Chains A and B, each alone.
Chain A
Amino acid sequence: NAGVTQTPKFRILKIGQSMTLQCAQDMNHNYMYWYRQDPGMGLKLIYYSVGAGITDKGEVPNGYNVSRSTTEDFPLRLELAAPSQTSVYFCASSLFRGAYEQYFGPGTRLTVT
C-alpha cells in the first residue's frame, strides 16, 4: 500500500494563477481531509469529506475548492492564488470519524509570489 500520496511536492505560483493539488489514498478510507500548516503553527483544516460526493468546509476554506468524485481521490483547487496561500498543504484520510488515526501524506510546499 502506498498510503496517502500527494503531488506535486513543491510548486511556485504567481499571484492570480490557479492550480490543483492532488491527493489519493489506497486504504479505502471514507474520510479525507485537507490541512494547511504555516511556519510555527499547527494544522488548520481547509475542507473535509465523509465520502464520495460529500464535502464540507473546515476552519479556513476561503480561496479553495474541493471535489470528491471517488473514494480514492480528493483534489484541492486554488483558483486565484494569493501570497497568503503560501504554506505547506497536507492531505489526510481516516477509516472512521472521531478518535481514529488520520494518515497523512508527505505534503505539498506551495509558494505564491
Chain B
Amino acid sequence: TQLLEQSPQFLSIQEGENLTVYCNSSSVFSSLQWYRQEPGEGPVLLVTVVTGGEVKKLKRLTFQFGDARKDSSLHITAAQPGDTGLYLCAGTSGSRLTFGEGTQLTVNP
C-alpha cells in the first residue's frame, strides 16, 4: 500500500504570513496532484506535477515535486483568508489516486 503523509495536519496563521505544507512518501509516484477542498464540497484540483524537480506557480502558490518523485511541497506567500481550506496531496499510480490525510489551513484576518 502506498502511503502519503502530510504535515502539518492543522495550521492556523494570520493574514499576510507565509506557510509551507509537506507531502511525503516512501513510494515513487508517476505524478502528484494538489487539491483544495472547502466545507461541504468535493476537492478541486489546483495543480499536477509530473517531472522530478518540477516547480509550478499558481499566483501566490508554489508547488514543487521532489527530485525522486516521492515528495512534494506547497508554499503559500502572503496568505489570505480566502486560502482557508483543506489541502490534499494525491499521488498517481496507474488508474488510482492515493490521497494524503490533508492539511487544514485557517487564515485569520
Contacts and interface: CB of A to CB of B under 8 A. Distances in A.
A50 B94 CA distance: 11
Interface in A25-61: 31, 33, 35, 40-45, 48, 50, 58-59
- Interface size on A, as a range, is 20 to 34
B52 interface: no
A40 to B, nearest CB: 7
- Interface size on B, as a range, is 20 to 34
B79 interface: no
Given A41-B101, A42-B101, A107-B41, A99 B30 contact: yes
A44 B98 CA distance: 8
A100 to B, nearest CB: 8
Interface of A: 4, 31, 33, 35, 40-45, 48, 50, 58-59, 90, 92, 97-102, 104-107
Given A43-B90, A45-B97, 18 more contacts: A31-B95, A33-B97, A35-B99, A41-B101, A42-B4, A42-B102, A43-B88, A45-B96, A45-B98, A48-B96, A50-B95, A99-B48, A99-B92, A100-B48, A102-B45, A102-B97, A104-B44, A106-B42
